[in-house]
Amino acid sequence: MRKKCLLNEVTMEACTPHSALHVAFHGTNGTGGRLGAANVQERYRNITLNNSPARKDQPEPYRFFDVYVTTFARQFAEGDGTIKSLYLWSEEPGTGKTASAVALLNAYLLTHFVGSIQRGLQPEQRPAYFLDAHQLQTDYNMFNRPRVPDSIAEPASVRYYNAIQHAKHTEFVVIDDLATRSTSEAFVADLHSVVNARVTSGKPTVYTSNVPVEKLPLIFGERRLADRIGDKKLCQTVFFEGESKRGERD
């Protein structure tokens, strides 16, 4: 995807690679700033709701998303600033869930960054965060398996616990690829601590998964996690139709 400044998506003066706004949002090399702190994979960093490859194939979800992102301005509200969580799921991988979740994350980042500047506030360094549950479990396994060298286990442990803390406390989080593999009791406990912290504090979360929320207990071996994620008062389920476009995780 062509490199560009996402700030050009909103009503601001033209953003150039060397402008202060661009550096604050993208970093000096395009992989830092607020967007880099969000931990989004490079191939997804420039995705928006307008240019998302899933928009054409998923018209119903995108009609909903276009309205949903207007609620992001509630983060600046003095009263009820509730932004609902979302559970994006499909029976097949590769239907555009991850791309769509990142487009929503980028929309939140833009709303926060621009809205803060317009109000004379300093934008947070990490107002949004992307948590890849698949990668999180990979890191967990790397420092819990026997005979793994310390040079590998220790960095994996640091990545793992940093990700857990960011996912608990960042205002807007995407938890991607939920419930794709069998999990250990300890890993489930850590993941539940993230979900519980977010639900308790009322922070919006976008989950993606290939299983319906009511089947999460079959994956995780307990119901509390599914109940917290699937609370209809707090979380809207969005179904993605169709078969995989790439035959791989989207």
Give the three-state DSSP class for 85. strand
Provide, rounded to the nearest whole percent, the portion of the chain with pLDDT above 90.
62
CATH domain 43-71+81-239 topology: Rossmann fold (3.40.50)
Mean per-residue pLDDT over the chain, rounded: 89
Say which residue, 113 or 21, is predicted with more confidence. Answer: 113
CA trace torsion 102, 107, 113, 114 (10° rounding): 160
Encode pLDDT of 178-224 as tens digits. 876 667 888 988 998 999 999 999 999 999 999 999 888 887 777 88
CB atoms within 10 A of CB 41: 12
Encode pLDDT of 82-110 as tens digits. 899 999 999 988 999 999 999 999 999 99
Query: How high is the pLDDT of residue 247?
Result: 46
Q: For residues 195 and 191, give the distance between their C-alpha atoms in angstroms, rounded to a whole number.
A: 6
Residue entry with tokens 């996402």:
6
Domain-wise residue ranges, the chain: 43-71+81-239
Q: For residues 57 and 45, give the distance between their C-alpha atoms in angstroms, rounded to a whole number.
A: 20
Phi, psi of 145 (to 5 degrees): -80, 145
Say which residue, 29 or 51, is predicted with more confidence. Answer: 51
Query: How high is the pLDDT of residue 45?
Result: 86
Encode pLDDT of 129-179 as tens digits. 999 999 999 999 999 989 899 999 999 999 999 999 999 999 999 999 987
Phi, psi of 236 (to 5 degrees): -100, 130
With cut-offs at 50, 70 and 90, classify the pLDDT of residue 1. very low
Q: Which two tokens stand for residue 243?
A: 């078969």
Query: Looking at 12-16, 69-73, 132-136, 193-197, which range is the least confident one?
Result: 12-16
Q: Are 130 and 176 in contact (CB under 8 A)?
A: yes
Any idea how long the chain is? 250
